C-alpha cells in the first residue's frame, strides 16, 4: 500500500526573491566588498599615482595607452573659433588669442596647446590635474596679462580637517579642498613646492597655502556622486601590467639562459702523467675559474672535470597567445583599442577596424565635450577675455563676444578617404547637414576655408590657369563598360 504524504503548506513569507549577487553562501563567502563612500574608497591615492607613473615610464603598454588617448583627444590642440558674425572683430579676437597662446605657459616651456597635451597626460596618469590662473602685470609685456600653471595632483595634500590655521569659520577641508556650509568649493590648499621634490614628513601649516577656488581649475572625471578627487584612468590595469611585465621578463631571462650554447672540451691524461712545472703527479689547479659563459664560447676543462646545466624549457607555443590575451585585457581596462596600443592588426578586417575606431572616437568625444572642454578650455577662454578687458586690449562688448566660441578639436583622419568624402558630400547634397559642419568636423574654420578657396580662384584666374575638372572615381569603370558594350557584335535583324 502506497504511503500517503501530507501536503505541506509553503509559507510565502519565508520565500525571498533576491539577486544571487546579494547572497552570503559558500560561493560568495570570500568576497569582501566594503561599503566605502566615494572619497573614502580612494584609499592611498598617492600609491596609485606612483604606480601608474611607473608603468607609464617603464611598460610599453602603459606608455602607449596614454599616448593614444592624448593623440586622439588633443592631437594638435582644441582650438576656439569665435562665433561673432562681425568679420573684423573675429579677426581681431583670433590674432590676439594666437599671440597669447605662444606665451600662455607660466613655466615658459610650452604653448597653450602643448599645455593641453600635458594636462591630458597628467589627468590620465595621476587621475587629475590642477591649473592655476596666474594674473600678470602690464609691465610683463604679454598680449593679455594672464598665464596658466599646470600642477600635479600631489600638490594638493589629502588633508581632512574641520579646524586649520587660516580656515574661515564654518568651512571644512576634505581631501585638500575647502568646502563652505553648503558644500561649494571655496579654496584649494596646496604645497608651496612639489612634495616629491622636498618630501616633508608631516603637513606643516606654513608649508601649505590657501588658493581661492576662482583661481584654480580642477580637471578630473568623477565616477561616483560626491567624489572630490580623481583616480588614475589606469587604476584597474596597473596590477595586471605589473604581473604581465614580470612574466615577460622571466620568459626573456629564460631564453637568455637557453641561448648560452657552450662547448666543453675534456681531456684524459695518460696514467702517471706528471705536471711539467713540478714533476709531481698531475692533480689540476683548484683556483683556475671557468671563463665567463657567452654564446658560442669553447671552454677547455681540466682532466676529470665536468659541467652540468639546467635545461630550462622554451617560451612555449602559447606564449604569443597568452601575451595577446593579457594585453587585450589591459586595452579594455585603459579604454584604448588593443590595435592602436600594440600596432597589432593581424587578421583584422578593415570593417572590424572601422567599428573599433569609431567606438573609440565616441569615447574620445565624450571626454572632450563632457570633461576637457568645459573644465579647462572654456574657463581659460573666459579668464582670458576678462584679463583682455581689464588690460584694455578689448572693450567690454568685445570681451563678451570673446567668450562666445565654438571649440574645434583636431579632425579625425579618414578611415576610407574615398568613401568617407563621398558620404559627406552626399549628406550635404541631400540637405542632411551643412557644408560648414563638415569643415568644422575636420577641425577647420569654414570662413577661413572659403577665403582660401576664393584666393585660389583669383590667383588661378590671374595666371590664366585652366580649372581642373573634379575626378569621378567611377569614370574608369564607366569607360571600360562602354568599350565592352561597343565590342560586342551587333545582332542581325
Tell whether 191 and 70 lie within a shared domain. Answer: yes
Do 131 and 64 have their domain in common? yes
Whether 204 is covered by a domain: the verdict is yes
- Give 10-residue mean pLDDT values along the chain (493 residues): 53 63 82 89 92 95 95 96 95 97 97 98 97 97 97 96 92 96 96 81 74 97 96 93 90 75 61 56 54 64 66 70 92 93 88 91 96 97 98 97 96 88 91 91 88 89 78 62 66 57
Residue 363 lies in a domain: yes
User: What pLDDT is recorded for position 200?
Assistant: 57
Domain extent at residue 240 = 43-248+337-412
Nearest by Cα to 145 from 396, 403, 382, 383: 383
Q: State whether 377 and 420 are in the same domain.
A: no
Is there a single domain that holds both residue 205 and residue 138? yes
Q: What one-character DSSP code corresponds to residue 414?
A: P
Domain annotation covers residue 72: yes
Total count of domains within the chain: 2
What single DSSP character describes residue 211?
E
The HSE-up count of residue 493 (CA atoms within 13 Å, CB side) is 0
Residue 118's SS3 state is helix
Within a domain: 329: no
pLDDT at 316 (0 to 100): 67
Same domain as 379, residue 456 = no
pLDDT for 312 equals 59
- Conformational region of residue 480, where left means phi above 0, alpha means psi within -120 to 50, and beta covers everything else: alpha
Quote the pLDDT of residue 22. Answer: 83
Determine, yes or no, domain membership for 393: yes
CA pair distance 60, 245, nearest whole angstrom? 9
Say if residue 130 is exposed, middle or buried (CB neighbours under 10 Å; 0-12, 13-18, 19+). Answer: buried
- Chain centroid to CA 311: 42
- Report the run of H or E that residue 258 belongs to, with start and end: helix 238-258
Residue position matching grid coordinates 573659433: 81
Per-residue model confidence (pLDDT) at position 415: 86
Minimal CA–CA distance to 398: which of 103, 171, 97, 191?
97
Q: Are 389 and 399 contacting, i.e. CB atoms less than 8 angstroms apart?
A: yes
Do the domain assignments include residue 76?
A: yes
Q: Both 348 and 429 in a single domain?
A: no
Residue 206 in contact with residue 213, Cβ under 8 Å?
A: no
What are 148's three cell numbers? Answer: 596658466
Amino acid at each position: 500500500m502506497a504511503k500517503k504524504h501530507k501536503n505541506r503548506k509553503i509559507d510565502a513569507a519565508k520565500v525571498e526573491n533576491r539577486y544571487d549577487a546579494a547572497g552570503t553562501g559558500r560561493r560568495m563567502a570570500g568576497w569582501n566588498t566594503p561599503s566605502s563612500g566615494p572619497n573614502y574608497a580612494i584609499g592611498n591615492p598617492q600609491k596609485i599615482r606612483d604606480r601608474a607613473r611607473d608603468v607609464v615610464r617603464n611598460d610599453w603598454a602603459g606608455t602607449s595607452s596614454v599616448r593614444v588617448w592624448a593623440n586622439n583627444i588633443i592631437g594638435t590642440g582644441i582650438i576656439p573659433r569665435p562665433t561673432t558674425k562681425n568679420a573684423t572683430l573675429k579677426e581681431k579676437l583670433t590674432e590676439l588669442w594666437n599671440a597669447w597662446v605662444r606665451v600662455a605657459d607660466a613655466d615658459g616651456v610650452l604653448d597653450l596647446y602643448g599645455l593641453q597635451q600635458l594636462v591630458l597626460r597628467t589627468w590620465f596618469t595621476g587621475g587629475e590635474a590642477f591649473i592655476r590662473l596666474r594674473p600678470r602685470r602690464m609691465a610683463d609685456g604679454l598680449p593679455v596679462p594672464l598665464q596658466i600653471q599646470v600642477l600635479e595632483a600631489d600638490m594638493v595634500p589629502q588633508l581632512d580637517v574641520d579646524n586649520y590655521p587660516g580656515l574661515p569659520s564654518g568651512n571644512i577641508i576634505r581631501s585638500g579642498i575647502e568646502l563652505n556650509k553648503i558644500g561649494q568649493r571655496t579654496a584649494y590648499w596646496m604645497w608651496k613646492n612639489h612634495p616629491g621634490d622636498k618630501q616633508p614628513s608631516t603637513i606643516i601649516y606654513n608649508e601649505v597655502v590657501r588658493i581661492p577656488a576662482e583661481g584654480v581649475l580642477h580637471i578630473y572625471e568623477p565616477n561616483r556622486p560626491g567624489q572630490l578627487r580623481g583616480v588614475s584612468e589606469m587604476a584597474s590595469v596597473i596590477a595586471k601590467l605589473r604581473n604581465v611585465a614580470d612574466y615577460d621578463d622571466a620568459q626573456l631571462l629564460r631564453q637568455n639562459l637557453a641561448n648560452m650554447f657552450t662547448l666543453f672540451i675534456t681531456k684524459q691524461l695518460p696514467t702517471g702523467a706528471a705536471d711539467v712545472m713540478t714533476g709531481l703527479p698531475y692533480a689540476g689547479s683548484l683556483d683556475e675559474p671557468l671563463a665567463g659563459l657567452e654564446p658560442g664560447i669553447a671552454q677547455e676543462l681540466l682532466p676529470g672535470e665536468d659541467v652540468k646545466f639546467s635545461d630550462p624549457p622554451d617560451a612555449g607555443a602559447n606564449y604569443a597567445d597568452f601575451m595577446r590575451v593579457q594585453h587585450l585585457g589591459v586595452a579594455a581596462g585603459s579604454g584604448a583599442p588593443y590595435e592602436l596600443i600594440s600596432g597589432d592588426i593581424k587578421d583584422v578586417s578593415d570593417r572590424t577596424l572601422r567599428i573599433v575606431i569609431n567606438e573609440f572616437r565616441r569615447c574620445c568625444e565624450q571626454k572632450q565635450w563632457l570633461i576637457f572642454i568645459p573644465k579647462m578650455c572654456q574657463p581659460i577662454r573666459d579668464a582670458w577675455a576678462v584679463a583682455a578687458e581689464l588690460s584694455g586690449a578689448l572693450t567690454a562688448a568685445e570681451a563678451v563676444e570673446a567668450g562666445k566660441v565654438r571649440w574645434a578639436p583636431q579632425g579625425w583622419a579618414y578611415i576610407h578617404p574615398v568613401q568617407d568624402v563621398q558620404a559627406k558630400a552626399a549628406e550635404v547634397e541631400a540637405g542632411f547637414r551643412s557644408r560648414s559642419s563638415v569643415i568644422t568636423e575636420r577641425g577647420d574654420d569654414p570662413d577661413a576655408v572659403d577665403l582660401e578657396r576664393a584666393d585660389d580662384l583669383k590667383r588661378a584666374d590671374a595666371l590664366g590657369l585652366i580649372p581642373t575638372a573634379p575626378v569621378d572615381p567611377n569614370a574608369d569603370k564607366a569607360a571600360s563598360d562602354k568599350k565592352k558594350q561597343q565590342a560586342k557584335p551587333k545582332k542581325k535583324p
